[in-house]
Amino acid sequence: MRRDELLAFLVEEVLEVNRPHPIRIAIDGVDASGKTTLANELAEFLRHKGFSVIRASIDGFHNPKEMRYRLGAGSPEGYYKDSFNYELLKENLLIPLGERGSLKYKTAVYDFRTESEVSQSYKEASNDAFLIFDGVFLLRPEIREYWDYSIYVHSDFNVILKRASLRDQYLFGSSGKVEKRYREKYIPGQKLYLKEAKPILLADVVIDNNDYNQPEIVFSDKKKSELLESTFNFV
Q: Is the pLDDT of residue 170 over 80?
A: no
Q: What is the mean pLDDT of the chain?
A: 97
- Residue 169: predicted pLDDT: 83
- Residue 98: predicted pLDDT: 98
- Residue 172: predicted pLDDT: 83
Q: Is the pLDDT of residue 154 over 90?
A: yes
Q: What is the mean pLDDT of residues 30-44?
A: 97
The rounded distance, in Å, linking the Cα atoms of 74 and 57 is 23
Q: Which residues pair with 152 in a beta bridge?
A: 28, 206
| Lateral strand order in the sheet of 149-154 | 53-57, 130-135, 23-29, 149-154, 205-208, 216-218
Confidence of residue 28 (pLDDT cuts 50, 70, 90): very high
The CATH code of the domain at 3-229 is: 3.40.50.300
The pLDDT tens digits of the residues spanning 82-127 come to: 999 999 999 999 999 999 999 999 999 999 999 999 999 999 999 9
161 sits in which H/E element: helix 157-167
Is 190 within 8 Å of 200 (Cβ atoms)? no
Say what angle helices 221-233 and 187-197 make with each other, to 10 degrees.
140
- Residue 25: predicted pLDDT: 98
At 143, the amino acid letter reads I
Helix (H, G, I), strand (E, B) or coil at 137: coil
What residue ranges do the domains of the chain occupy? 3-229
Which among 126, 124, 153, 127 is positioned nearest to 138, based on CA atoms? 153
The pLDDT tens digits of the residues spanning 40-54 come to: 999 999 999 999 999
**Residues with Cβ within 8 Å of residue 45, at least 6 apart in sequence:** 7, 8, 10, 11
